Chains A and B, each alone.
Chain A
Amino acid sequence: MSTVYLMFIWAILGLLVGVLACAAHLQPTTWSRYRWLWLLVLGLGAALLGGLLGFWLFGRIFASATALWIAVLATCAPGLYSALRTRLGQRGSDPA
Chain B
Amino acid sequence: MGDTNLNINAGTQTSLSSAPATRTRGRRGRRVGRWLARLALTLCFLAGFYYSVVPSGRAAARALIVLPGVLTATQPTWQAPVVESITHTQTTLPSASGTVFLDVYAPSGTVPPVPGSREGMLIITGVGDNRKEPQVVNFSQTLARAGIVVMDVTTPALLADRVDAGDRDAVVQAFQVLQHWPAVGATRVGMFGISAGGALICLAAADPRIRDQVAFVSLLGSYYDTTTLLETLGRRAQVVDGKSQPWQPVAVPLQALSSTIAPALPGNDGSVLVNAFASYPAGALTPDQLAQLAPESAAIYHLLAGDQPTRVAANLAALSPTLRKLLANLSPSTVVNELRAPVYLLHDRNDQFVPVTESRAFATALTRLHHPYDFAEFGIFQHADVRAGLGLSQLLGDGQSLFRLISEVTQAGS
Contact = CB atoms under 8 A, between A and B. Distances in A.
Q: Of residues A9, A56, A69, which shows the largest number of chain B Cβ atoms within 10 Å of its Cβ?
A: A69
B93 to A, nearest CB: 29
Interface string A53-74: 0101111111011111110110
Interface stretch (A19-27, A30-38, A87-95): A19-27
B44 A61 contact: no
Given A9-B81, A23-B34, A62 B52 contact: yes
A59 B109 contact: yes
A15 to B, nearest CB: 13
Contact of B33 (A23, A54, A58, A72): A23
Given A2-B80, A61-B146, A62-B58, A24 B34 contact: yes
Contacts of A20: 37, 40-41, 44
Contact of A72 (B41, B51, B84, B112): B41
Contacts, number: 93
B34 to A, nearest CB: 5
B360 interface: no
Contacts of A21: 37, 41
What is the size category of the interface that chain B forms with chain A?
Answer: 20 to 34
Contact of A69 (B35, B45, B61, B113): B45
A66 B38 contact: no
27 contacts: A2-B81, A2-B85, A23-B33, A23-B34, A23-B36, A23-B37, A24-B35, A24-B37, A24-B41, A26-B38, A58-B58, A59-B147, A60-B83, A60-B84, A61-B65, A62-B58, A64-B82, A65-B48, A65-B49, A65-B52, A68-B44, A68-B45, A68-B47, A69-B48, A72-B41, A72-B48, A76-B41
Interface of A: 2-3, 5-6, 9, 17, 20-21, 23-26, 54, 56-62, 64-70, 72-73, 75-76
Interface of B: 33-38, 40-41, 44-49, 51-53, 58, 61-62, 65, 80-85, 109, 112-114, 146-147
